[in-house]
Amino acid sequence: MLMKNKYFMVIILSFLVLNIYAQIDYDNVYNEAIENIENKNYIEAIRLLQSIQDSGDYLLFFNLGHCYFQLENDELAQRFLKRSIELNGDYMNSRGYLGMSYLYTNKLDEAEAEFLKCVELDSTYYRNYFLLAKIYEQRDNIEKAIEYYLEALKYNSMDFHTNYSIANIYFDNDDYINAQKYFEVCDSINNEIYPVISCLIRIKYRYEDLDNIEILKQRLRAVKQDSDNENIRRLTRFTIDTFTYKDYHIFVEETFDLSGILYYHWVFRIVDNNGNFLRSVNLESSLGLRQMGNAYIIGVDIFEQDRRIHHTTNIAFAELPEYNVMKNYVIEEIESGLVRAVTGVYPY
């Protein structure tokens, strides 16, 4: 009888040892997979996780879904994230990533359901409201999008992306007061973002708030010069204003490099309601002009038969004119039917 009990004790201890070794092996593989995820080695992480996926652990399936999400394989990401939710429906990360995967694949109703569930799980996490706002932006429900962005800001008032998103909505809908408010928050968070500074310049021109505008322009020039974005570094002009007069839309640009033998300081591009370019009215400077005692002259560019033709007027300035002087000249061009007589025709 004693021998029999010893025999069963050996068997039980053997099973315990095997289970301990199995757990140690599982933990080692899982931890190695997590380390690979942290290093963005997602394919290796998937290989490791798949070798132990029989464990049925909801975190393991979440991490598999997360890896596939990062690899932009939304079909497999959704499969594993849904499996994780089946095992633990209260784990918000699984629902959050599943919602984002649905959002990126334009399954808006499914995405909304997941983010609303996330709100139930944690009503104070700003990003759930931010992502709900993105859904309503895609649905062109601007009022609802703003409502969710404002809710997100209640819980994280200094999140750059939320402030930037709501600022752009207001800007695109001509609410420049609110747009300025949120762009200025963005600028306080990071003062080297090209689109933020550019929009603030346009807003100040729109309201003729020109007191500190030169400071913004100098900042924009510095950001452009130091940018890691090659497209930004290649820009030759930046938009300072847009306005509509009668049936015409005018886009105003300023040149980054205000030096050299010949350059355009301001360019007013006149476009009709169909988007057809009609002409540009330019404030120009040249070495020859400066030697004659004038710093600037007004010129006009038009296109005839796929050829750009440059006209120079006889309106010159000894120093930089006020912005409204140029703006009024453009309005006069439109009033005259865009056929004002000019002197000196120089095709090139």
Domain ranges of the chain: 56-157, 169-234, 236-348
65: pLDDT strictly greater than 60: yes
- At 278-307, the pLDDT tens digits run 899 999 999 999 999 999 999 999 887 778
Q: What are phi and psi of 289, to 5 degrees?
A: -65, -45
Closest residue by Cα to residue 321 from 295, 346, 287, 341 = 295
What is the C-alpha separation between 120 and 16, in angstroms, rounded? 41
pLDDT at 211: 79
For 331, counting Cβ atoms within 10 Å of its Cβ (0-12 exposed, 13-18 middle, 19+ buried), the class is middle
Average pLDDT over residues 317-344: 81
pLDDT above 90 covers what percent of the chain? 76
- At 69-91, the pLDDT tens digits run 999 999 999 999 999 999 999 99
Average pLDDT over residues 332-337: 86
pLDDT at 342: 45
Of the pLDDT bands very low, low, confident and very high (cuts 50, 70, 90), residue 17 is: very low
CATH of 56-157 given 3.20.20.10, 1.25.40.10, 3.40.190.10, 1.10.3730.10: 1.25.40.10
Residues whose CB is less than 8 angstroms from the CB of residue 182 and which lie 6 or more positions away in sequence, other chains included = 163, 164, 166, 167, 170
pLDDT at 343: 43
pLDDT at 41: 97
Q: What are phi and psi of 347, to 5 degrees?
A: -75, 140
- At 138-197, the pLDDT tens digits run 999 999 999 999 999 999 999 999 999 999 999 999 999 999 999 999 999 999 999 999
- At 230-283, the pLDDT tens digits run 999 999 999 999 999 999 999 999 999 999 899 999 999 999 999 989 899 999
- At 197-239, the pLDDT tens digits run 999 999 999 988 877 899 999 999 999 999 999 999 999 999 9
Tell me if 56-157 shares its fold with 169-234: yes
Average pLDDT over residues 21-36: 80
28: pLDDT strictly greater than 50: yes
Of the pLDDT bands very low, low, confident and very high (cuts 50, 70, 90), residue 10 is: very low
CATH of 169-234 given 1.25.40, 1.20.120, 1.10.3470, 1.10.730: 1.25.40
pLDDT at 170: 98
Of the pLDDT bands very low, low, confident and very high (cuts 50, 70, 90), residue 102 is: very high
